[in-house]
Amino acid sequence: MEVNITQENFESYKNGSLPLVVDFWATWCGPCRMIGPIVSQLADEFDGKLVVGKCDVEESDDLAAELGIRSVPTIIFFKDGVEVDRHVGSAPAGVLRQKFETLL
Protein backbone atom coordinates (compact mmCIF):
# COMPACT_ATOMS: atom_id res chain seq x y z
CA MET A 1 0.00 0.00 0.00
CA GLU A 2 1.21 3.48 -0.84
CA VAL A 3 0.57 6.65 1.12
CA ASN A 4 0.56 10.23 -0.11
CA ILE A 5 3.46 12.11 1.48
CA THR A 6 3.02 15.84 2.11
CA GLN A 7 4.85 18.52 4.06
CA GLU A 8 2.28 18.05 6.83
CA ASN A 9 2.64 14.26 7.33
CA PHE A 10 6.25 13.61 6.30
CA GLU A 11 7.82 13.84 9.77
CA SER A 12 5.30 11.42 11.31
CA TYR A 13 5.97 8.81 8.62
CA LYS A 14 9.74 9.41 8.70
CA ASN A 15 9.84 8.93 12.48
CA GLY A 16 7.34 6.05 12.51
CA SER A 17 8.01 2.50 13.63
CA LEU A 18 8.54 1.20 10.07
CA PRO A 19 11.23 2.19 7.55
CA LEU A 20 10.03 4.70 4.95
CA VAL A 21 10.61 4.80 1.19
CA VAL A 22 9.50 7.99 -0.60
CA ASP A 23 9.20 8.26 -4.37
CA PHE A 24 9.48 11.94 -5.36
CA TRP A 25 7.88 12.38 -8.77
CA ALA A 26 6.05 14.79 -11.08
CA THR A 27 3.16 14.29 -13.51
CA TRP A 28 5.18 15.63 -16.47
CA CYS A 29 8.14 13.28 -15.83
CA GLY A 30 8.46 10.36 -18.26
CA PRO A 31 10.91 8.31 -16.16
CA CYS A 32 8.59 8.84 -13.15
CA ARG A 33 5.75 7.20 -15.08
CA MET A 34 8.07 4.29 -15.91
CA ILE A 35 9.27 3.70 -12.34
CA GLY A 36 5.91 4.42 -10.65
CA PRO A 37 4.36 0.97 -11.31
CA ILE A 38 7.54 -0.74 -10.04
CA VAL A 39 7.38 1.24 -6.79
CA SER A 40 3.67 0.41 -6.47
CA GLN A 41 4.36 -3.31 -6.94
CA LEU A 42 7.12 -3.21 -4.33
CA ALA A 43 4.80 -1.33 -1.96
CA ASP A 44 2.39 -4.26 -2.18
CA GLU A 45 5.19 -6.82 -1.75
CA PHE A 46 6.62 -5.12 1.34
CA ASP A 47 3.27 -4.11 2.87
CA GLY A 48 3.48 -4.31 6.66
CA LYS A 49 7.30 -4.34 6.62
CA LEU A 50 7.86 -0.75 5.51
CA VAL A 51 5.89 2.30 4.41
CA VAL A 52 6.06 3.40 0.78
CA GLY A 53 5.04 6.95 -0.01
CA LYS A 54 4.64 9.02 -3.14
CA CYS A 55 5.32 12.74 -3.10
CA ASP A 56 4.44 14.99 -6.04
CA VAL A 57 7.21 17.60 -6.03
CA GLU A 58 4.91 20.21 -7.53
CA GLU A 59 2.38 19.84 -4.71
CA SER A 60 5.05 19.63 -1.97
CA ASP A 61 7.79 21.85 -3.36
CA ASP A 62 8.86 23.00 0.12
CA LEU A 63 9.51 19.42 1.21
CA ALA A 64 11.34 18.64 -2.04
CA ALA A 65 13.56 21.71 -1.55
CA GLU A 66 14.18 20.83 2.12
CA LEU A 67 15.41 17.36 1.10
CA GLY A 68 17.50 18.64 -1.81
CA ILE A 69 15.48 17.02 -4.58
CA ARG A 70 17.01 18.37 -7.79
CA SER A 71 15.63 15.90 -10.31
CA VAL A 72 12.86 13.35 -10.49
CA PRO A 73 12.34 10.55 -9.99
CA THR A 74 14.27 10.50 -6.71
CA ILE A 75 13.62 7.74 -4.20
CA ILE A 76 14.82 8.31 -0.64
CA PHE A 77 15.10 5.50 1.90
CA PHE A 78 14.71 6.31 5.62
CA LYS A 79 15.35 4.07 8.62
CA ASP A 80 14.92 5.19 12.23
CA GLY A 81 14.16 8.71 10.97
CA VAL A 82 17.45 9.02 9.08
CA GLU A 83 18.11 8.99 5.32
CA VAL A 84 20.16 5.86 4.60
CA ASP A 85 20.04 5.74 0.79
CA ARG A 86 18.94 7.75 -2.23
CA HIS A 87 18.33 6.70 -5.82
CA VAL A 88 17.99 9.25 -8.62
CA GLY A 89 16.56 8.27 -12.01
CA SER A 90 14.94 5.15 -13.35
CA ALA A 91 15.99 1.64 -12.35
CA PRO A 92 14.93 -1.94 -13.00
CA ALA A 93 12.72 -3.69 -10.45
CA GLY A 94 15.57 -5.91 -9.21
CA VAL A 95 17.74 -2.94 -8.23
CA LEU A 96 14.90 -1.27 -6.33
CA ARG A 97 13.83 -4.55 -4.67
CA GLN A 98 17.39 -4.97 -3.33
CA LYS A 99 17.31 -1.43 -1.90
CA PHE A 100 13.93 -2.15 -0.25
CA GLU A 101 15.29 -5.38 1.26
CA THR A 102 18.31 -3.56 2.67
CA LEU A 103 15.97 -1.50 4.88
CA LEU A 104 14.62 -4.58 6.65
For 46-83, the three-class secondary structure string (H helix, E strand, C coil) is CECCEEEEEEECCCCHHHHHHCCCCCCCEEEEEECCEE
How many helices (H) does the chain have, and how many strands (E)? Answer: 4, 5
SS3 29: coil
| Residues with active-site annotation | 29, 32
Contact indicator for 23, 57 with CB cutoff of 8 Å:
no
